[in-house]
Amino acid sequence: MSDTTTPQPDSIIVADSEVIIRNVLSDYLRQCGYKVIDAATSDEVIEILVNGAGPFAAVLSDADLGGSMNAFSLRFWVREKRPEIHFILAGNVDVAAKAAGTLCDQGPHLKRPYDPQHVMTHIKQLLSAARK
Amino acid sequence: MSCQVILLVEDEVLIRMLLAEVLRDKGYQVIEAASGDEGLAILLSGQHVTMIITDVRMPGQIDGMALATRAKQAWPQRPVVVMSSHLPAADAAIADKFIAKPFVPAMLMKTIENLIGPPCQTPPPHNQTAS
Chain A closest-CA separation from residue B111 CA (Å): 24
pLDDT at A5 over 60: no
Calpha distance B113→B108 (Å, rounded): 9
Query: Does residue B23 sit within a domain?
Result: yes
Q: Out of A22, A47, A126, whose CB is closest to B13? A: A47
Instruction: Report yes or no on B124 lying in a domain.
Output: no
- Are the beta carbons of B38 and A44 separated by less than 8 Å? no
CB contact under 8 A, B13 and A20: no
For A20, the closest chain B residue by CA position comes to B42
Query: B8, B17, B67: best mutation site toward chain A, by most A Cβ within 10 Å?
Result: B17
Q: Can you tell me the distance from the alpha carbon of A34 to that of B50, in angstroms, rounded to the nearest whole number? A: 24
* Spatial contact of B3 and B49, defined as CB atoms under 8 Å apart: no
Residue B73: Cβ-neighbour burial (10 angstroms; 0-12, 13-18, 19+):
exposed
Is the pLDDT at A6 greater than 50? The verdict is: no
CB contact under 8 A, B13 and A23: no
**Cα A68 to Cα A43: distance, rounded to the nearest angstrom:** 7
* pLDDT tens-place string over residues A47-72: 999 998 889 999 999 999 999 999 99
Q: What is the pLDDT of residue A41?
A: 98
> Which of chain A's residues have a Cβ under 8 Å away from the Cβ of B38?
19, 40
pLDDT score of A3 more than 50: no
Given a contact cutoff of 8 angstroms between Cβ atoms, the answer to whether A61 and A72 are in contact is no
Strands B120-121 and B2-3: what pairing?
A: antiparallel
- B14 alpha-carbon distance from chain centroid: 17
Distance CA A89, CA A64 (A): 9
User: Percentage of residues in chain A with pLDDT exceeding 90?
Assistant: 66
> Does B86 fall in a domain?
yes
Q: Which amino acid is at A12?
A: I
Q: Is residue B120 part of a domain?
A: no
Structural domain span for residue B87: 5-115
DSSP per-residue string spanning chain A: ---TTSPPPPEEEEE-SSHHHHHHHHHHHHHTT-EEEEESBHHHHHHHHHHS---EEEEEEETT-BSSS-HHHHHHHHHHH-TTSEEEEESSHHHHHHHHHHHHHTSSSSS-SS-HHHHHHHHHHHHHHHT-
Question: B45 CB near a chain A CB, below 8 Å?
Answer: yes
Beta strand B51-55 pairing with B29-33: unpaired
- Name the percent of chain B lying above pLDDT 70: 89
* Higher local confidence (pLDDT), B122 or A25: A25
pTM: 0.89
CATH code, domain with B77: 3.40.50.2300
**B130 falls within a domain:** no
pLDDT-derived band at A87 (thresholds 50, 70, 90) equals very high
pLDDT at B1 over 70: no
What is the nearest CA distance from B51 to chain A, expressed in angstroms? Answer: 16
User: A93 at the B interface (CB within 8 A)?
Assistant: no
CA torsion sign for B122, A104, A100, A30 is positive
Number of domains in chain B: 1
pLDDT tier at B122, thresholds 50, 70, 90: low
pLDDT of residue B48: 94
Q: CB under 8 Å to A81, separation ≥6 — which residues?
A: A49
Q: List the single residue in A19, A40, A132 with the smallest CB-CB distance to B42.
A: A19
> Do the Cβ atoms of B51 and B7 come closer than 8 Å?
yes
* Assigned domain for B25 exists: yes
Q: A126 CB near a chain B CB, below 8 Å?
A: yes
Q: Does residue B40 lie within any of the structural domains?
A: yes
Of A23, A40, A47, the CB nearest to B14: A47
The answer to whether residue B95 sits within a structural domain is yes
Hey, which residues 2-31 in chain B have their CB within 8 Å of chain A? 13-14, 16-17, 20, 31
Report CB contact under 8 Å: B32, A52: no
